[in-house]
Amino acid sequence: MNKAHLSEKEIQNIALNKTAPGTRSGHLEDCLTCKNKVETYRLIFEELTRAAAPAFNFEVAPPEMIPQRKLNSRRLYVFISASAVLVFVLLAFGLVDYAVPLHSDRPGQIRPQVTWLIVSAAGVLLLGLLGELVNSYHKKIKAINGSVMQHYSAHIL
């Protein structure tokens, strides 16, 4: 039988109940020194779990809660897809109208109706973007106002 003391690593692992294969746990039955070391570690580990949960002894002030999401990702995806399809269709329509003037008296020119259609679609896209910009601006202002009010009320109280 190997009478040499257990290594510090073996002792810690036994105390943690994490014995690796080949650990001479049986040695503890004959060796009071190693057994005491294991017991001491176990007492310490047990006491460590009993310690009170730490908590801040001060308030953590909230930062300015400015929305960080410009657009909901799904809404953004739908908006970009729809815009891309619209732009593609209008471009194709305009090109066909320019190259194959089936209903036009003036070859090589886009019909005014098609021009209006393109301008209207561009306007709708622009309005959509502006709406989103205004919406996001209002959200940010509201958040800043809220945080400033909270700051002042905390000071007043």
Q: Which stretch binds another protein (CB under 8 A): 21-29, 91-99, 113-121, 143-151?
A: 143-151
Residue 74 C-beta: closest distance to another protein, Å: 13
Among 43, 76, 80, 84, binds another protein (CB under 8 A): 43
Nearest Cα residue to 28 out of 2, 45, 6: 6
Nearer to another protein by Cβ, of 90 and 143: the residue is: 143
Distances (CA, A) of 63 to 67, 69, 86, 102, 146: 11, 16, 41, 63, 11
Interface characters, 2-21, with another protein (x: CB under 8 A): ------xx--x---------
- Find tokens 């732009």 and name the residue: 87
Q: What is the largest CA-CA distance in the chain?
A: 111
Residue 128 C-beta: closest distance to another protein, Å: 21
CA distance 53 to 111: 76
Among 19, 25, 30, 36, binds another protein (CB under 8 A): 36
* Length of the chain in terms of residues written: 157
Token reading at 35? 């057994």
Residues 80-99 that bind another protein (CB under 8 A): none
Among 19, 65, 78, 126, binds another protein (CB under 8 A): 65
Cβ(13)–Cβ(24) below 8 Å: no
| Straight-line distance from the first to the last Cα atom of the chain, in angstroms, rounded to the nearest whole number | 74
Q: Which stretch binds another protein (CB under 8 A): 20-28, 50-58, 79-87, 100-108?
A: 50-58
Q: What is the contact surface with another protein in residues (CB under 8 A)?
A: 8-9, 12, 33, 36-37, 39-41, 43-45, 47-51, 53-56, 58, 60-63, 65-69, 139-140, 143, 146-147, 150
